[in-house]
Structure 1
């Protein structure tokens, strides 16, 4: 492989802002795996955000890129899995598997797509020093012949339309809007773009915690709090974690949570998670991380008697998509009142209305 921009490349990043800024190019914020695609003839490499190759996990994309992208190019984009109900990030996570037989099977059953949103190089030309407006125009020309697996993200310079996208597209699994300065160059690992994401609050049941990675017997520290919500069947469902605390607060939480430790004879709604069979194919506390098989995700169960208010962005199925943030204790709320009914449900929106052809064939 010999390209004007060679792997590894650390992608350009975005910083969070509360509202859509004026005077920029706007595009949907895709919820998938950030990927920089390098193609030189038949040689294709898919680089992740942390610069590690993902090529072996998406063989169907390698073939599609050979067929649908220009002969020699470097394109920044997002790997996604599109379903009739929108983007499926959980199915995307399942694609990262060590067994080649599993990779091959999933490539057929849950094929991925590539949504392109920036151009770093084309033929012998390095585009990273050119303004985004010029890169976007070249990207549109380069993808004019793309097919069913490689797609071009929509853009607009109309801030009002971007606001409509922000409100509507969440129903298809997207998680906000990206704003790019029209005259901005491509700057690796720099937060020169802006992201506007949804922020909501929920009252959750505290059901357990994990020790911090630096915790010791002499200096114990709480790492993260495990959150639950009651479903329609009255079952406490694990919904996410809160973990952004100062060292001082982590130490204080040890004593603060001690009265909630299980007493002799106490049952816990998540007791089945100690059983190996309960973890097969499920996202449960205690399950080994798909990204780091050595990471200890075991937890200390607590009596589910205390409620806390958290800030979150959006849901992925029955769970918070990202780490939630602690706001305050809600001792005025009963655990039983913490149900999924309190959560805001975005209106359903079709992926085909965002990018024609991205949604699955019907």
Structure 2
């Protein structure tokens, strides 16, 4: 029994199966390939009319997505546990920003957003069948068949959809080399594999995306006189240089020479649009401690996600681009 006596068939503390990162798709036999969705990973539990949604961290999500709870609660199915992804679509594209806006303390705000920007659940695995049978020990092939049977009567495009899959590596390669859209890579699962909670037995391969960025500033390493990270910029429609992220993948061998090179450009205009620092979810206690540079250096970096016209995570420095004019580094490179 869990959650005030409600029996969901499996503990709410169960952890989603995880994936290891890889640079390329596995090509041997026995793999199933699925899109890697850009949303909130979610385990959806149902027992009667009771619904619980749990994030990958184990934290409850149900209060933030009342429209998903309402739909799942109303299904003519007594119980299930589904592994999937919560997503929100805006203007034909999935929006991670819209998902984050749901994590709000005010219920009135959440209710308003649930109507204006409704979420849906993308289902890609089943852990407990509507008959109340746990199927974690069954193969992915069997679990997928159970999920497809469930989806025949329950899926609706605006509420619950079934994630596509392929067992053809050529088709998966086309997904991976695509221009982007709603997904940012491919997740690879063994067709004969069981569901192993919390274990990294899947493989994820992210779509490689690169951009040429202006180095508008830098930060020193903590308690050091050497450079720690480069601050990256792109020119906006007004011709202003906006801060869009950073890269810290600098080797120790090049750090001292690079520091001298950067210090020679120190004191320039830096970012003339959005600048580092100020309150944001990217800020740290050292956000304001940066050195502005003359906008002369260009680097090519690899990135995965873009949120709010910024790189959501740190980027990987691929190479310097002395052949590229800083003025050529604009937002068109990262817009899908």
Bucket of the pairwise TM-score, normalised by the shorter protein: 0.7 to 0.9
Among residues 149, 153, 160, which one is paired with 1:141 in the alignment? 149
Q: Is the 8 A contact 2:306 2:334 kept in 1?
A: no
Between 67-76 and 145-154, report the one with greater CA deviation: 67-76
2: CA distance between counterparts of 1:118 and 1:250?
46
- Of 201, 205, 208 in structure 2, the residue corresponding to residue 196 of structure 1 is 205
What residue number does 2:165 align with? 155
**Please, which moves more after superposition, 306-315 or 135-144?**
306-315
Structure 1 length as normaliser, TM-score? 0.78
Deviation of residue 46 (structure 1)?
Answer: 1.4
Q: Which residue of 1 aligns with 2:278?
A: 286
| SS of residue paired to 2:153 | coil
Other-structure match for 1:105: 112
Find out whether 1:86 has 2:88 as its counterpart. Answer: no
SS of 1:70's partner is coil
Assess if the C-alpha contact under 8 Å between 1:27 and 1:179 holds in 2: yes
Q: 1:344 to 1:92 in 2, by over 3 A?
A: closer
Q: Deviations over 1:203-253 (max 9, x none)?
A: 2112234566xx34xx57766432111234322133322235578988987
Change (3 A) 1:127 1:223: farther
The match for 2:320 among 304, 320, 329 is: 329
For 1:242 and 1:129, the matched residues in 2 are separated by 42
Among 157, 170, 187, the alignment partner of 2:196 is: 187
Q: Is the 8 A contact 2:233 2:271 kept in 1?
A: no
Give 1:181 shift: 0.6
Q: Give the 3 Å change call, closer, same or farther, for CA 309–267 of structure 1 in structure 2.
A: closer
SS of equivalent residue, structure 2 residue 114: helix
Displacement of 1:295 in angstroms is 6.5
Task: Quote the RMSD (CA, aligned, Å).
Answer: 3.1
**Deviation readout 1:13-38 (Å, 9 max, x if unpaired):** 22233333233112211111111112
| Partner SS for 1:140 | helix
Q: Distance in 1 between matches of 2:10 and 2:256?
A: 47
Quick one: structure 1 residues 268 and 162, their matched pair in 2 at CA, closer, same or farther if it must change by over 3 Å? closer
Q: Which piece of structure 1 moves more, 16-25 or 80-89?
A: 16-25
- Whether 1:56 and 2:56 are equivalent positions in the alignment is no
Go from structure 1 to structure 2 and tell me whether the alpha carbon gap of 1:250 and 1:35 turns closer, same or farther (over 3 Å shift).
farther
State the distance in 2 between where 1:268 and 1:245 align.
Answer: 20
8 Å CA contact retained: 2:35, 2:186: yes
* Residue number among 292, 295, 308 corresponding to 1:302 in the alignment: 292
- 1:112, CA displacement in angstroms? 0.7
Gaps of 5+ in 1: 274-283, 347-362
Q: TM-score, normalised by structure 2?
A: 0.83
Residue 173 of structure 1 is matched in structure 2 by: 182
Q: Which moved more, 1:39-48 or 1:223-232?
A: 223-232
Number of residue pairs the alignment of both structures matches: 325
- What residue in structure 2 maps to residue 10 of structure 1? 15
Cα distance, 1:88 vs structure 2: 1.4
**Residues 150-209 of structure 1: CA deviation (Å, up to 9, x unaligned):** 1111122222332333344x5432112222110111112222112222113322112234
- Structure 2 residue runs of 5 or longer lacking an equivalent are 1-5
3-state SS of 1:81 partner: strand
| Structure 2 CA distance for aligned equivalents of residues 151 and 211 of structure 1 | 47
1:37 match? 44
